[in-house]
Amino acid sequence: MSGAGAALVIFLVYLGFDPLPVIVLTGIGLLLYSGGTRSMQKTARIVRKNQKNKYIPSVNFDEIGGQYRAKNELKEALDFLLQREKIARYGIRPVKGILLTGPPGTGKTLMAKASAHYTDAIFVSASGSEFVEMYVGVGAKRIRSLFQEARSLARKHKKNRAIVFIDEIDVIGGKRDGSQQREYDQTLNQLLTEMDGISVDQEVQVLVIAATNRKDMLDPALLRPGRFDRHIHVDLPDKKARLHILQLHTKNKTLHSDISLMKIAEETFGFSGAQLESLANEAAIYALRENKPEIEQKHLASAIDKVLMGEKADREASSEEKKRVAVHEMGHALISEYVRPGSVSEITLTPRGQALGYVRQLPDRDRVLYTREDLENSIRVCLAGAAAEEYFYGHKSTGAQNDYKQAYHYARTMIEAGLSDLGIISPDLVGREELQLEAKKILEKCYDDILQCMGHFSFMFEESLGILLKEEVLSGDKFREMLMKSHSKTDKIYEVN
């Protein structure tokens, strides 16, 4: 190339032309060509990197709040992918499948993606519903294609491992009952065959991760060792985990200095990770609506109510109906505060979802074990709204219908846990009528206790109803302050029998 250029310059000089313009133009052309080539090479590298990132998620375990036990257990299983030679020396066979179980919104899908990032493995995912078709054999074919895609992508990107994630596996992995559901059976059989044949391909090791919130529905053939070797339960986060999740989801948001995320974590007992993310997002939306530069405590409180109860309803209650709702909710709040001091977070008359009003309560602590007294107190809080209506008006309304369902649930829990007068029983061997009679006895006893106790709280109805009706929202701290002032003016309240 350089020799041809020199010959051209000499030829131009021989003909009497000035070669300088040609030399300059040639140099500019070469610069443009080399620059374009480098740009194309850079673009190609970016495309290859993006294609790689497309199949290897960027989510890591540090970005998943809480779930410390589940994450550690999952990492231990994933280390078998990373340390193939070491586990071979110990004679350990590779883990073929990991089953993630737990309530919706607890982060099972995120943990599967983080697993691919942790192991630097190709990630291919599908939902169980994608394999269900009316034509026999289509689901089985899609299972085969899914595993073939995982292996081919791993080879293409020069990886020796891949993760196949199947969400809602209970759709295709349900128990086989001998009926004529041939499509479901063939799809499940193909999945079982693929999992059995995973170890055949020594070049690419495939790990299957599946998620479900209905483990009891799965076929035993899936759950046996050699298929899904590890069963990891991803539970609802405790208070410490909820605080961590809230910190992660508010990291990119401007919070007012008065906000205590620990207090929010305490108030959100029973929230899943997805609900906590929604809470942080809704609080930011409330701040945007009011054009506030920072998210304030009231925005987070409203977001909790929305996640729990739904958006505010448009319907307007009459003054008499509103007063009855106030009496009902005041009954809940009084008994809740009485049986468990400091439990009331907020009393509101704002309609949300199907509720005309509600009392948001604080759990005393994250717990899974309850005594008979704990369950009876929960029943008393549920029935307190109806008792307040009967005490104040002399009769009840339909507003306590959902309260009765919750109270009955607690009563059945007492019976089935052996905490009732029936003693230790098998609910399947006891007649439905006998169970109903025992539950009715428990509910009536608790209701009579609350009705008797309600008379000792008459001073609070007189002093606080007007404030609640006027402001429509009463914080727990203000309610307790009013309760203490009222106590100082009255005799000691008698204990619930």
Q: What are phi and psi of 180, to 5 degrees?
A: -90, 35
Residue 461 identity:
F
Per-residue b or e along 460-469, where b marks 16 or more CB atoms closer than 10 Å to that residue's CB: bbeebeeebe
Angle CA 441–446–452, to nearest 5? 125
What is the Cα Rg of the chain in Å?
A: 33
268 by DSSP, 3-state: which? coil
Rounded to whole angstroms, the Cα distance separating 113 from 209 reads 10
In the annotation, is 390 catalytic?
no
What is the three-class DSSP state of 172? coil
Instruction: Collapse the DSSP code of 213 into the 3-class scheme (helix H, G, I; strand E, B; otherwise coil) and give the result.
Output: coil
CA nearest 392: which of 332, 317, 327? 327
Nearest to 96 by CA among 168, 167, 199, 187: 199
- What distances in angstroms separate CA 205 from CA 78, 121, 125, one per listed residue? 12, 10, 16
Catalytic residue among 183, 282, 329, 438: 329
For residue 366, report the phi and psi dihedrals to the nearest 5 degrees. -70, 120
- Collapse the DSSP code of 304 into the 3-class scheme (helix H, G, I; strand E, B; otherwise coil) and give the result: helix
The amino acid that residue 123 corresponds to is F
Residues with Cβ within 8 Å of residue 293, at least 6 apart in sequence: 254
CA dihedral sign of residues 287, 309, 236, 126? negative
Q: 3-class DSSP state for residue 346? A: strand
159: phi then psi, degrees, rounded to nearest 5: -115, 150
Look up residue 326 and give its two tokens: 């106030």
C-beta separation of 388 from 381 below 8 A: no
The backbone torsions φ and ψ at residue 80, rounded to the nearest 5 degrees and listed phi first, read -65, -30
Which residues, other chains included, contact 59 with Cβ-Cβ below 8 Å and sequence gap of 6+?
A: 110, 113, 114, 117
d(C-alpha 328, C-alpha 388), whole Å? 6
Question: What number of residues does the chain have?
Answer: 497
CA 215 from centre of chain: 17
Active site residues: 329
